[in-house]
């Protein structure tokens, strides 16, 4: 049990450190996007740039500012006292510079994290992310509180009522955030796990203290060189029901032997209930947590086993809900990144190639030879192909048909484009009258269909496939089927990854995030059928839940 608690704490601290790393990268991207926006709109003043970038800088509770190359304040959004102090002490902070220290010639455009510092006006610790903007010849900077960031990010992994002590420390071993008993807030320089985490390692340590043995889990946060440390008494984690579960085999083995002796009169009390319990356990393995709740009867040992399975299912369900929240955050970040890439390709790259094509067309007028005209025509054709490829990539990243024309049209265009670009015929059918769902649910259904058709094209060796969307009074059904080679279905969803079906694992996670029921039918040589059933209540009334996860 001691090792199980240690493994659980190690996974938890790694997940929490990854969540903090993701939030820090999000803030890096926000500052970089503001500088990119400034470079793309050279006619705007710094004040207008700050006003127009409010949505990019909402994560900086210390405000956003522009500084000149000597560290003097040009403009800022809020927290005048903080930025005045920063402007007076630029040499004491690590702020981005327009010169590369190694050559003193080239320009550095990478964002820089400052060392954590105490704001004398608010007595709060802040960290500044800064980057040099060549177009403005100024430094863009945003300040955020690591304490507020950690409190917000770690609340999902570590509830307020937990007994876990959490330390977030910087590279100089200064505590940036603490959660736990007040008397344990100080952290010694040789505290176990700190040195290891600051060297980029993660793991667990067991330390004997006054109230028993504590498990210490640690993990690094690479982008800032910080470390996340957790500590708790592992004996306090073990619940009485879990201790009983440890003793269950000692109780069940003798009972099972006695049951074999009395099998001739106890078949109905043992065999049949166990068969029902086996079926319910199989359903539980596929994520149906309600299946195990219905009593199967039988002798007391079978009933006790079902009680323990119910408790196990409750704990697994709680753990999966926390994991789903994290996966939902990752999915949301992925969609945001796709949207950003699509917008940059459309607004920048495609427009540049179109301009190039127009210049080629104008060049025809000044060319006198046929060879010159032929070379320009080839260059124009290449530009047209590049524009079309970029537009197809943009549509894959950002389904504009879904946003403008709805789910049915988007799925029909997806099937048509997949058929045109691959040697597999994809048929499309719609049954019933189209019902608009929430934006998040429609996006999830489109991504599931996109991944399913991608699997058909890459793995199934099929000649034909079909994409079906069906609208009924109380449910919406999405189905993708093919006549390919098929595959052996795993025993449970957890076997998707070891067997190489990562696409199906992603589809299942998206289905869980919107509360849909996923059914997969496949066998070697008999093709594959993927069916997703979404109740009308899940697609509409409960869309707020999906909105929070996607």
Mean pLDDT computed over 442-470:
90
Question: Residue 531 has which token pair?
Answer: 């069916």
> Using one digit for the tens of pLDDT, what is the confidence trace for 136-149?
888 888 899 999 99
Closest CA to 126 of 94, 97, 157, 91: 94
* Most confident range, picked from 366-380, 453-467, 535-549: 453-467
Could you count the other beta carbons within 10 Å of the beta carbon of residue 92? 12
Which residues, including other chains, have CB under 8 Å from residue 428's CB and lie 6 or more apart? 411, 412, 415, 416, 466, 467, 468
Q: How many residues does the chain have?
A: 550
**In CATH terms, are 1-238 and 399-549 the same topology?**
no
Q: Kindly give the residue spans of alpha helices, DSSP state H, lying in 134-239.
A: 146-154, 194-198, 234-237
pLDDT in tens, 17-66: 999 999 999 888 888 888 887 777 666 677 777 777 777 667 888 888 88
Distance of alpha carbon 219 from alpha carbon 230, whole angstroms: 9
Q: pLDDT tens digits, residue range 258-292?
A: 766 666 555 676 777 777 877 877 777 766 777 77
Residue 246 has pLDDT above 60, yes or no: no
Angle subtended at Cα 327 by Cα 326 and Cα 333, rounded to the nearest 5 degrees: 95
Across all residues in the chain, what is the average pLDDT? 79
CA 130 vs. chain centroid, Å, equals 25
Domain ranges for the chain:
1-238, 241-397, 399-549
What's the per-residue H, E or C state across 119-164? ECCCCEEEEEEEEEECCCCEEEEEEECHHHHHHHHHCCCCCCCCCC
Number of other CB atoms surrounding residue 255 within 10 Å: 16
Distance between CA atoms of residues 6 and 241, nearest Å: 19
> How many Å apart are CA 162 and CA 164, to the nearest integer?
6
CA 357-362-366 angle, to 5 degrees, is 135
pLDDT confidence of residue 469: 93
DSSP state of 289: T
For position 510, what pLDDT does the model report? 83
- Bridging pattern class, strands 64-67 and 112-113: unpaired
- pLDDT tops 80 at residue 330: no
* For residue 108, pLDDT beyond 90: no
Element (H, E) at 13: helix 2-40
493 close to 283: Cβ distance less than 8 angstroms: no
In which band, very low, low, confident or very high, does the pLDDT at 218 lie, cut at 50, 70 and 90? very high
Domain formed by 399-549, architecture: 2-Layer Sandwich (3.30)
CATH code for the domain defined by 1-238: 3.30.450.20
CB atoms within 10 A of CB 262: 12
Residues linked to residue 167 through DSSP beta bridges, in sequence order: 178, 229
Residue 358 pLDDT exceeds 80: yes
Above 80 in pLDDT, residue 1? Answer: no
Residues 433-437 have a mean pLDDT of 85
């Amino acid at each position: 049990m001691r090792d199980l608690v240690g493994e659980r704490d190690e996974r938890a601290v790694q997940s929490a450190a990854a969540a903090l790393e993701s939030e820090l990268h999000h803030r890096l991207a926000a500052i970089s996007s503001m500088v990119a926006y400034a470079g793309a709109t050279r006619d705007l003043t710094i004040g207008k740039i700050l006003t127009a970038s409010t949505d990019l800088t909402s994560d900086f509770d210390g405000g956003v500012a522009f500084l000149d190359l000597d560290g003097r304040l040009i403009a800022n959004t809020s927290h005048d006292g903080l930025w005045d102090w920063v402007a007076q002490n630029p040499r004491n902070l690590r702020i981005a510079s327009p010169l590369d220290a190694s050559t003193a010639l080239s320009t550095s455009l990478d964002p820089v994290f400052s060392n954590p510092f105490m704001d004398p006006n608010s007595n709060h610790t802040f960290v500044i992310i800064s980057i040099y903007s060549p177009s403005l010849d100024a430094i863009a900077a945003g300040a955020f509180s690591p304490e507020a960031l950690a409190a917000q990010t770690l609340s999902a992994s570590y509830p307020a009522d937990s007994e876990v002590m959490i330390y977030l420390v910087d590279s100089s071993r200064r505590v940036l955030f603490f959660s736990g008993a007040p008397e344990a807030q100080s952290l010694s320089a040789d505290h176990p796990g700190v040195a290891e985490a600051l060297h980029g390692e993660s793991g667990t340590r067991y330390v004997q203290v006054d109230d028993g043995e504590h498990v210490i889990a640690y993990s690094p946060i690479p982008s800032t060189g910080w470390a996340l440390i957790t500590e708790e008494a592992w004996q306090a984690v073990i619940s009485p029901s879990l201790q009983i579960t440890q003793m269950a085999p000692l109780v069940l083995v003798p009972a099972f032997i006695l049951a074999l002796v009395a099998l001739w009169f106890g078949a109905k009390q043992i065999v049949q209930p166990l068969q029902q319990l086996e079926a319910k356990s199989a359903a539980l393995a596929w994520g149906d947590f309600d299946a195990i709740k219905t009593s199967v009867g039988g002798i007391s040992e079978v009933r006790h086993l079902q009680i323990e399975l119910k408790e196990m299912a409750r704990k697994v369900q709680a753990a999966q809900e926390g994991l789903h929240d994290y996966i939902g955050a990752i999915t949301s970040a992925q969609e945001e990144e796709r949207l950003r890439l699509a917008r940059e390709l459309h607004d920048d790259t495609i427009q540049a190639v179109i301009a190039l094509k127009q210049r080629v067309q104008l060049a025809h007028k000044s060319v006198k030879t046929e060879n010159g005209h032929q070379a320009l025509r080839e260059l124009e054709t290449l530009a047209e192909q590049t524009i079309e490829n970029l537009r197809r990539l943009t549509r894959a990243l950002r389904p504009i048909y879904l946003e403008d024309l709805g789910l049915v049209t988007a799925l029909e265009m997806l099937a048509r484009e997949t058929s045109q670009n691959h040697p597999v015929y994809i048929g499309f059918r719609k049954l019933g009258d189209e019902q608009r769902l929430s934006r998040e649910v429609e996006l999830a259904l489109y991504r599931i269909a996109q991944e399913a058709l991608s699997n058909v094209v890459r793995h199934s060796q099929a000649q034909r496939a079909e994409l079906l969307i069906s609208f009924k009074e109380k449910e919406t059904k999405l189905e993708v089927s093919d006549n390919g080679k098929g595959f052996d279905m795993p025993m449970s969803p957890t076997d998707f990854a070891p067997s190489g079906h990562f696409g199906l694992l992603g589809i299942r996670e998206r289905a869980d995030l919107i509360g849909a029921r996923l059914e997969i039918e496949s066998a070697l040589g008999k093709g594959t059928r993927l069916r997703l059933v979404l109740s009308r209540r899940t697609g509409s009334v409960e869309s707020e839940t999906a909105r929070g996860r996607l």
